Amino acid sequence: MVLSRRLPDAAVAVLTAVADVHRPEVDRPLGAEELRTAVAGADALVCLLLDRVDDALLDAAGPQLKVVANIAVGYDNVDVEACRRRGVRVTNTPGVLTDATADLTLALLLGITRRVGEGDRLLRAGRSWGWDLDFMLGTGLRGARLGLVGYGAIGQAVARRAAAFGMHVAYAARHPAAADAPPAERLPLADLLASSDVVSLHCPLTPGTRHLVDAAALRSMRPTAFLVNTARGPVVDEAALVAALEAGEIRGAALDVFEDEPALHPGLVGRDDVLLTPHLGSATVQTREAMAVLAARNAAAVLTGQEPPTPVG
């Protein structure tokens, strides 16, 4: 078994109980070339969303590979069809990161609507300021319309939090929500974009959602609206987003994920109407440990001939 990154002890304990574990010597994610070398002959790969698991990597691993356990709920980095062709199981880590990601979404939503990043930058730059009736006014959330694109576990967790702030919640999704989902109006995407004060993305990255938020979608939003993205960067056409902000087509954006991570579109960086965080959605100590342990349980289950807890597909 190969790990593309060192894991917390609790996850390693799950794995060493069933397999010989090859742990990276370096305390950072392996690079693509290093991973290609390390994976040769492995029966299991526990990997990160940074690792591209494609035909080339699967060929480098060899036919004995049984499982790719991705430490993320998103698995757009894994060519699931190529794995299926080879009989390799793919697993992800849903559930354990729902609250952390929903919490960060609210942090971004509050941060961009109340100009938290902008205020922080103003103070650090030593610029003069003083309390005034119209100084740095933001947008209140009570009564504002939140439009969720995607209404899975994370979208629903965001809906619960937003309801506590008095927001009116709507969603656009391919299927109606289950009966136990928080109450929210289901709208066609075009109507959701046109009517929301905040649009927050919670869909997976697929060929169908790549650049879902493009120039036309941005143009259809309210000029006073905000965009929040804690899903995947390429769901948004970043060049179109920069142009839309420049043209005043929307008021601001808060982004945790980027089209070409870790690179940032240069047009985003200098803008005060943009709040940026470096893919921190699941970044709590507890959540990252839970993700690693779940991935380890998935890999261990496949290696011992059992059904993994959270398979993909």
Q: What residues make contact with ligand DGY under the rule CB under 6 A?
A: 49, 72-74, 97, 279, 281-282
- How far apart CA 288 and CA 284 sit, in angstroms, is 6
Please say if 261 is a catalytic residue: yes
Do residues 163 and 169 make contact, with C-beta atoms less than 8 angstroms apart? yes
Residue number with CB closer to ligand DGY (77 or 195): 77
The active-site residue out of 6, 185, 222, 261 is: 261
The nearest distance, CB 124 to ligand DGY, in angstroms, is 27
The active-site residue out of 232, 251, 288, 297 is: 232
Please say if 114 is a catalytic residue: no
Do residues 299 and 1 make contact, with C-beta atoms less than 8 angstroms apart? yes
Residue number with CB closer to ligand DGY (49 or 187): 49
The nearest distance, CB 158 to ligand DGY, in angstroms, is 14
Q: Pick from 137, 145, 238: which is nearest to 191 by CA?
A: 145
Residue number with CB closer to ligand DGY (74 or 117): 74
User: What's the burial of 291, exposed, middle or buried (CB within 10 Å: 0-12/13-18/19+)?
Assistant: buried
CB count within 10 Å of CB 236 equals 27
Please say if 22 is a catalytic residue: no
Question: Residue 178 is which amino acid?
Answer: A
The nearest distance, CB 103 to ligand DGY, in angstroms, is 12
Reduce the DSSP state of residue 272 to 3 states and report it: coil
The nearest distance, CB 165 to ligand DGY, in angstroms, is 23
- For 5, 139, 196, the CA distances from 47, given in Å and listed in that order, are 7, 40, 37
Residue number with CB closer to ligand DGY (73 or 172): 73
Residue number with CB closer to ligand DGY (150 or 281): 281
The nearest distance, CB 73 to ligand DGY, in angstroms, is 4
The owner of tokens 């056409």 is 237
- How far apart CA 245 and CA 254 sit, in angstroms, is 12
Among all residues, which ones are annotated catalytic?
Answer: 232, 261, 279
